[in-house]
Homo-oligomer: A and B are copies of this chain.
């Protein structure tokens, strides 16, 4: 293992150029370089050119530790996620890792096993230096409005949540409309005995998705027997249990609308095991359009939620808020898409 020759004090960080060297090269003070770089303060058009040239020539990259020390750059985002095995969580973690890297942010991912742990986890994140919080359901609604959360004094953004919140950014799709559209698609394709594997009803997004289904069914005069709605926990295993019960019903459903892809995959599983022919005997639809949707057989008709874009957007909002010290909560609605595949 090779390591660089090190000066007594520091491990010589790969030929780092400091702002002073740039300043000397451009014949100005360090402060002016800083001003040009950040577009703050005052300088003439001509100095600007000189400084920029020096920056390029030397390949200057500001030292983020120093910037952060003086409080100029927020740098750490705490991500609070539910500790369930789901494709969606993995995808968010991966997207957040990449998006944070692009923005030079440090991601601090932390799992909270239950809603009760949310506050403790948030506190722990803050204590270890988080400047802002990125939340996933159900932690958005758990924390929103609580005095203890407010006391943390951290900016927060929630992705994939159901509705705007007064004290944090929200980046989401219209879950209800998406779910309604999906259900209508099934009805249009001739399905009549539609069953539902809902998500946990303490997740605001799950509630919306279930509402969307109900609306579509009602609009078409189809009744939804309550034994055709089962609440899962977004995990594959809970989907398995739910599907078992649904496919053991006296009157067999001809379609299952699941609230995420993992549970939809579970429904496929159970259907396969029972020897049903898919999608003839049973249509199954998912939600999220994770990688899973295209890996299972038959591939899932599902709702695409643009996870990468939503994650990136949430980070940008947080960065803006921290830098500009804005106080306006914002709600960003991203587009969803119905992706038709072979499962319905």
Cα-based distance from A126 to B328 in the complex (angstroms): 37
Please give the distance in Å from A342's CB to the nearest CB on chain B: 9
* Interface membership of chain A positions 228-259, coded 1 if the CB is closer than 8 angstroms to chain B and 0 otherwise: 00000000100000000000000000000000
Please give the distance in Å from A203's CB to the nearest CB on chain B: 20
Residues of A72-104 whose CB lies within 8 A of B:
74-75, 79, 85, 87, 89-91, 93-94, 96-98, 100-101, 104
Instruction: Given A109-B98, A297-B296, answer yes or no on A65-B59 (Cβ-Cβ < 8 Å).
Output: no
Q: Is A198 an interface residue (CB 8 A)?
A: no
Residues of B within 8 A of A6 (CB): 325
**A325 touching B11, Cβ below 8 Å:** yes
Residues of B within 8 A of A9 (CB): 70-71
This protein's copies in its complex: 2
Residues of B within 8 A of A71 (CB): 9-11, 13
**B127 touching A327, Cβ below 8 Å:** no
Residues of B within 8 A of A295 (CB): 87, 236, 262, 265-266, 269, 292, 295-296
Residue of B nearest to A99 (CB): B109
Instruction: Given A14-B153, A87-B291, A91-B90, answer yes or no on A64-B129 (Cβ-Cβ < 8 Å).
Output: yes
Residues of B within 8 A of A177 (CB): none
Interface centre among A106, A152, A268 (most CB of B within 10 A): A106
Residues of B within 8 A of A131 (CB): 11, 13
Instruction: Given A108-B101, A128-B104, answer yes or no on A3-B265 (Cβ-Cβ < 8 Å).
Output: no
Please give the distance in Å from A98's CB to the nearest CB on chain B: 5
Q: Is A225 an interface residue (CB 8 A)?
A: no
Q: Is A114 an interface residue (CB 8 A)?
A: no
Q: Is A139 an interface residue (CB 8 A)?
A: no
Please give the distance in Å from A208's CB to the nearest CB on chain B: 23
Residues of B within 8 A of A328 (CB): 1
- Taking a contact as CB atoms closer than 8 A, the residue among B12, B63, B106 that contacts A106 in the complex is B106
* Interface membership of chain A positions 265-300, coded 1 if the CB is closer than 8 angstroms to chain B and 0 otherwise: 110110011000000000000000001101111110
4 smallest beta-carbon distances between A and B, as pairs: A4-B153, A10-B71, A93-B94, A106-B106
Pairs A–B under 8 Å by Cβ, sample size 8:
A9-B71, A13-B131, A93-B97, A94-B94, A105-B106, A236-B295, A273-B297, A291-B292
